[in-house]
Chain A
Amino acid sequence: MNLSAFLPALIGGILIGTAATLLLWLNGRLAGISGILWRSFFAKPGDVMWRVLFLVGVVGGAALYYALFNDEPVARENFPVWLLVVSGFLVGYGTSLGNGCTSGHGVCGLGRLSLRSLVATLIFLVTAIVTTFVVRHVFGVM
């Protein structure tokens, strides 16, 4: 097994955990992207700025990585637009209803040993694995 291929993934993961640590330790907030994002539309005036700045930081951090390593993602050529729209709607609706995504339930929820987050993480992981199988191998969409 070529372990060096997993090094960026491991370091990236450690940085994500470090960012969540900073936000909880300094600001007392959990670094769940969907909650920070969706609630920025409905939050009270004084509760909006830190959310927006966190998200601006996320974009800036990714921009810095792309600039340093020239590793911008490339769009798929034949992926159906309607599937992206359906996928987006499900992700938005589901993370709002279930109060969390990979970062909130996965990284932060597991970190604080929340049973709700453990159950949510297992459910969305298994559902995503089944869905990917159906989309790729039953319908042949890549």
Chain B
Amino acid sequence: MKLNLTSWLAGLVFGFGLALAGMTHTEKVLGFLDFAGDWDASLLFVLGGAVSVTLITFRFILKRTKPVLAERFIITKETHLDRPLIIGAVLFGMGWGISGYCPGPAVALLASPNWELWAFLPAAILGAVAEKYFELRRTAKAEAAQPQVTAQENKPVIESPSEGSCG
């Protein structure tokens, strides 16, 4: 119950911050990404402001053995650079650069939706579901092709591989 309340509260601060920062205004976002136009540097301050807070606070938080209200931190232990990470970042960058929407602002914009959002958001959900479908199919195939446990021994054991790395 408490966890749900604090999650809602964190979301509230996040959404207010996103909107105040101008992230839901595509002309601002694209004004930052467009170096050949009339460059708008303000997004640097958004990312800079946010990261300078997390850089300091996360250091202290992650020294704790567990969070205040939950049993453990849910953060990925994945550290190596792999193909899905890189291809995923390229595809996301292309999508972001076309319209100026990334997932956070798209969600926040539900507070004042216009026709652009009704084209963007369902397509984004479809894209994420499609990726998950292919991922599950790949895993199922890999498991079917490799019934023995041999050759698995050298692999690091990763608990919930990607949960917590997410954005």
Stretch at the interface among B45-53, B141-149, B151-159: B45-53
> Given the interface contacts A95-B88, A96-B88, does A131 sit within 8 Å of B94 by beta carbon?
yes
A residues 49-80 with Cβ under 8 Å of B?
49-51, 53-66, 69, 71-76, 79
Tell me the total A-B contact number using a CB cutoff of 8 A: 509
> Given the interface contacts A13-B47, A65-B16, A87-B98, does A21 sit within 8 Å of B131 by beta carbon?
no
Contact partner, B53, options A21, A36, A73, Cβ 8 Å: A21
A11 and B49 contact, CB distance less than 8 A: yes
A96 and B127 contact, CB distance less than 8 A: yes
Q: Which residue of B lies closest to A14 (CB)?
A: B49
A88 and B119 contact, CB distance less than 8 A: yes
A58 and B11 contact, CB distance less than 8 A: yes
> Given the interface contacts A38-B128, A73-B114, does A95 sit within 8 Å of B103 by beta carbon?
yes
Query: What is the CA–CA distance of A13 and B19 in the complex, to the nearest angstrom?
Result: 10
**Count of interface residues, chain A, beta-carbon cutoff 8 Å:** 114
Residue interface bits A127-140, CB-to-B below 8 A is 1, else 0:
11111110111000
Output the least CB separation between B82 and chain A (Å): 9
Contact partner, B49, options A17, A56, A73, Cβ 8 Å: A17
* Chain B residues with CB under 8 A of A66: 19, 111-112
Contact partner, A24, options B14, B19, B61, B129, Cβ 8 Å: B61
* Chain B residues with CB under 8 A of A98: 84-89, 91-92
A residues 115-130 with Cβ under 8 Å of B?
115-117, 119-121, 123-130
- Interface secondary structure of A, over-half rule: helix
B residues 6-25 with Cβ under 8 Å of A?
6-25
> Given the interface contacts A61-B18, A123-B89, does A30 sit within 8 Å of B166 by beta carbon?
yes
- Apart from A62-B112, A93-B127, what are 11 other A-B pairs with CB-CB below 8 Å? A6-B42, A35-B165, A57-B8, A59-B15, A61-B19, A84-B116, A90-B98, A92-B95, A103-B103, A106-B47, A130-B97
Where the two chains meet, the residues of B that have a C-beta atom closer than 8 Å to any C-beta of A are: 3-26, 30, 33-37, 41-55, 57-58, 61-62, 66-76, 78-81, 84-104, 106-112, 114-116, 119-132, 135, 162-167
> When A and B form their complex, which 8 residue pairs have the shortest distance between CB atoms, in order from nearest?
A104-B167, A35-B166, A98-B88, A57-B11, A13-B49, A12-B21, A111-B54, A61-B15
Where the two chains meet, the residues of A that have a C-beta atom closer than 8 Å to any C-beta of B are: 5-6, 8-39, 41-42, 49-51, 53-66, 69, 71-76, 79, 81, 83-117, 119-121, 123-133, 135-137
